[in-house]
A = this chain, B = another copy of it.
């Protein structure tokens, strides 16, 4: 809590200096056209002379509005998230909003505190990239707050809220279908938290692709673990140490795939030759990795842009219907599965 020592120049002082009323000065700062040019210029001159700085906090307070939007994400060091954030930020900034950022590092507790903080700061709206273990308790908290909100990337059941994300089921189906066509019959599914919507959707696609070929899934090839590089390494170790290891690996995300490939290297197994690997997200590094990673685009920047636009609508029109925007994914076949 910082105390401001230096006192600001107020609009009242500006008005006095310009010889007009405060209300007139207020209309000038807000560019209201019903002020005459002469008066406007006089006031603007006084503002400059005194070094006036507009106080948005006071303005927002009185007008009960806000041009701050809260954005809560799981982890900005994950390229998928930072790309998403860029989409959100550029869009909101061009609409005149500023972003209050919170990072949960996938902790539900921290997320809960951040949501409260945002609401206490009276943000105009919230964009949420939920932690993977978000629960019914989270849903309850979200439903209680009146602030317009949009969920991105990850849904949560029973939350009355707009949503923007990619079609994870279809994306996974495409990846698995591709591997099955190549003749693989033992495909591992590594990473992700089983209770999260992003995992459940992918699993549906995983199942459907197998069903299409009348194949059954070996549950021992499914490893539920945090979707990070570390998680990938550990999951790979678990699955390769089994009596019947897989011949191909579907990873929850590119980050998991990088961990998987790192551990494969450590074991002198060559991705794309000895075993096939597919990721998810198509982050910029995927293409530049060695070998380049087959993966599914999930267009994080577009998701960010759409989430921001959706929130903008929610904030400005009332009583709009809930929307769900689901982007179509795209499979990029590269060297790890050719």
A315 x B2 contact (CB < 8 A): yes
Q: Which residues on the B side are within 8 Å of A102 (C-beta)?
A: 93, 98-99
B258 x A288 contact (CB < 8 A): yes
Interface size of A by CB at 8 A reads: 59
B68 x A120 contact (CB < 8 A): no
A3 x B65 contact (CB < 8 A): yes
B120 x A2 contact (CB < 8 A): no
A:62-79 near B, CB below 8 Å: 63-68, 76-77, 79
Q: Which residues on the B side are within 8 Å of A85 (C-beta)?
A: 76
A246 interface hit (Cβ, 8 Å): no
Q: Which residues on the B side are within 8 Å of A55 (C-beta)?
A: 120, 122
A309 to chain B, nearest CB (A): 14
A45 to B54, CA, bound (A): 38
Among candidates B76, B100, B124, B315, residue contacting A100 with C-beta atoms closer than 8 Å: B100
Residue of B nearest to A95 (CB): B1
A122 to B7, CA, bound (A): 12
A214 interface hit (Cβ, 8 Å): no
B290 x A4 contact (CB < 8 A): no
A264 interface hit (Cβ, 8 Å): no
Residue of B nearest to A316 (CB): B2
B96 x A86 contact (CB < 8 A): no
A38 interface hit (Cβ, 8 Å): no
Per-residue contact bits, chain A 77-113, to B (CB 8 Å; 1 contact, 0 not): 1010011011001100100101111110000000000
Residue of B nearest to A57 (CB): B122
A121 x B56 contact (CB < 8 A): yes
Per-residue contact bits, chain A 258-300, to B (CB 8 Å; 1 contact, 0 not): 1000100000000000000000000011001110000000000
Residue of B nearest to A319 (CB): B5
Give 30 CB contacts A-B under 8 Å.
A1-B65, A1-B96, A1-B124, A2-B65, A2-B66, A4-B64, A51-B144, A55-B122, A56-B120, A57-B57, A57-B60, A57-B66, A61-B61, A76-B86, A77-B79, A77-B82, A77-B86, A77-B284, A82-B82, A86-B103, A89-B101, A93-B102, A98-B102, A98-B117, A98-B118, A98-B121, A99-B100, A99-B102, A100-B101, A258-B288
